[in-house]
Structure 1
């Protein structure tokens, strides 16, 4: 039987996991005995695997149609789920559909129906209206981060999607908060609720909370001094507005802090470049809106800096969920101006004050620089091709090449900063896969 190919042991080995955690095992067990399951568990606790395994259990290898649909609030979460599913090595096909991705590419991916589709409400609804997705065989529906998905603006689209699925037998809803009423159109029947949230929704104990008092209402100078104090560590700085993100990033750059910014109004390639540079260590500071508070798969983030105070406790929880994930520790830092006070929901928290030194030393510059290559999966280019190209044409050693990310139509590769200019000079007239493509420092 095909199922032997993807035993749980093989999947865990592929994911480099020793065993399921308590929450994941509870989800697997509950889904065997209940059609509808609501799973509440903290960000970073492994919810993705907790619903992918039950999906897998219900897939029929003889059925060549799409059998499961996963609805998510952001393209980043869709890509993360797609990545985990592929790493599981089951032999089943998955496709991600999201705004900012070429619809023609997705349409081509949907010609041979994937067993599983993951996507954002707007793009999924669009494909269903265009009849690119055959809905008749879809029996499993997952709403991941359903509280966010069902927020104002998504309700109508999610309702349309569900109305378009005539044969749903299983529904799985997951969230890191319990903060939204479940609408009637989901038609849940006696759902089994698994609550693995920390008591009263507090952040995990491994999260340390600190604060810095800014002497001025304009807190950029304090942020600069704080980053100098923290040193060359992976740090996300949260602002409440896109304009503030770009302004703050620019002012940090003017003070010689290497950083990048990220928000929802950027083009997809710009967003991919920003996240890749942060992931691969070309920059250690990411300035962003709450868009980065959910679904980003970036390991080893040490500090979360709340440059602007979060509007809600939910936002506070999700921002901090980017650090102190699984077994790691992390620190959330508030920057308070003279006119600002600590949020009421932190009244019972131990918050340590940081006294910044009088003089600031610029942190060491990152050792990596990210190179952009205008070729990707659709050009039949993969990571092995890129390593071979850089090794042969630029004489780079293995240790000179860092993280490589290959997208549909372009790729990013980290190269030791000291060798970038020489590398670009040596490869400027060379071809990848017999094709001349643009190669330059990622912007």
Structure 2
């Protein structure tokens, strides 16, 4: 490798991954031999690493310009790829660019060109037009989840990006479905196609069940279903933002701790909702199909389809949030009495019969603190752990998942300790600075 001889084994060790899977090995080998590679593999099968390893092998540490561009359909996927790249510890700089992120921050990050840029089509176009990205040295392009990226609405932007990249030598495309024709402007030349999708592969380890709602308004049935399923992590998919908020508020009033998540929320709100779901402060996330892709949240046990998905592809991607890798999961469809199953769903699926009375599940034992300081304030996870241990008198087991963003951070702490901790730290400073710390909204 050209990255200071960092071996694949060393990278895997840093990622706590014992070995590459068959698809990842095939990708590394294919990308060594061929200029253009298409990777088709189920959601959760490790496609991110399948393209990052070949990129890292090809990067030249002596080249101080941007060498690789990764285009993704969502900001969450961009953040996930950035996190994995940093965990790999290769020493190559990576920068994310996406809507909802401060453009000034991104512009500052681009002054010294990163080796890798990952971003959404609209924001990448914006930076190209403003002259913020040095294009001449970009030889590697990745279209991650290209089926989504190439959907109507992104086509024009992706076409503009492709027209701006004059020195491309390699294209890597990934997808969990085979549903989209790749337009000619992508410029593929005799691509090697690695197809690891098999019939029903998206539902491996997944069981599908249904429950009948006696009322057209399914909220009461959803409430009873969540109680019946118990204190397990679940994503509830609705087809509209208004339904997401209405359903979330109904569950909250009924005593179910939950968060909602959709595209009209401010970035900090979205980060907060996802962080609470990831760290166990809430077990239920009510969302639109925005959360059906790009969210790397482990151990999701249930996918609940409050509304039937419009297409089979959406159904596959929603269900792909559970039963990832070797884990099992269950998708539950809530059907009103007059709703018919779409043709692509097996009519013989098992039906859940809810008991007449249910008991509220136990509330989560974690709570999330918002800290108004992050990477750009030179605050990291070690600083936060030290602060909460020394000033907040917390033991190691009382501190959960910590996520540090550019200008703010989230940390899970045991709910029983929250009041005491906030009292102890209210006049204390982090790295000699007064920083607002409160329960995350």
Match of 1:150 in 2: 150
Match of 2:426 in 1: 428
Aligned length: 441
Quote the Cα distance in structure 2 between the aligned partners of 1:186 and 1:375.
40
8 Å contact kept, 1:430–1:436 = yes
Q: CA deviation at 1:336?
A: 0.3
Quote the Cα distance in structure 2 between the aligned partners of 1:257 and 1:193.
46
Quote the Cα distance in structure 2 between the aligned partners of 1:266 and 1:253.
18
Quote the Cα distance in structure 2 between the aligned partners of 1:419 and 1:5.
46
Stretches of structure 2 lacking an aligned partner (at least 5 in a row): none
Match of 2:308 in 1: 309
* Aligned ranges 1:302-381 → 2 under 5 Å: 302-347=301-346, 350-381=348-379
Residue 113 of structure 2 corresponds to residue 113 of structure 1: yes
User: What TM-score results when the alignment is normalised by the length of structure 1?
Assistant: 0.98
C-alpha distance after superposition, 1:306-364 (max 9, x if no partner)? 001100000000001100000111000000001211121013x7511111111110000
Match of 2:40 in 1: 40
Quote the Cα distance in structure 1 between the aligned partners of 2:4 and 2:388.
39
C-alpha distance after superposition, 1:7-49 (max 9, x if no partner)? 1111111111111111111111111121111111111000001
8 Å contact kept, 1:234–1:303 = yes
Quote the Cα distance in structure 2 between the aligned partners of 1:203 and 1:92.
33
User: What TM-score results when the alignment is normalised by the length of structure 2?
Assistant: 0.98
- Residue 369 of structure 1 aligns to a residue in which SS? strand
8 Å contact kept, 1:207–1:330 = yes
Q: CA deviation at 1:198?
A: 2.2
8 Å contact kept, 1:198–1:204 = no
Q: CA deviation at 1:4?
A: 4.7
8 Å contact kept, 2:236–2:305 = yes
Of 267-276 and 335-344, more deviation after overlay is shown by 335-344
* Aligned ranges 1:407-426 → 2 under 5 Å: 407-426=405-424
Quote the Cα distance in structure 2 between the aligned partners of 1:142 and 1:203.
22
Q: CA deviation at 1:58?
A: 1.4
4+ residue runs over 3 A deviation: 1-5
Q: CA deviation at 1:261?
A: 0.3
8 Å contact kept, 2:42–2:201 = no
8 Å contact kept, 1:209–1:350 = no
Match of 2:393 in 1: 395
Match of 1:291 in 2: 290
C-alpha distance after superposition, 1:187-241 (max 9, x if no partner)? 1111111111121x55332001111011111100000000000111010000000
Quote the Cα distance in structure 1 between the aligned partners of 2:348 and 2:84.
36
Cα RMSD (Å):
1.1
Match of 1:64 in 2: 64
- Residue 345 of structure 1 aligns to a residue in which SS? coil
8 Å contact kept, 1:5–1:90 = no
Of 300-309 and 190-199, more deviation after overlay is shown by 190-199
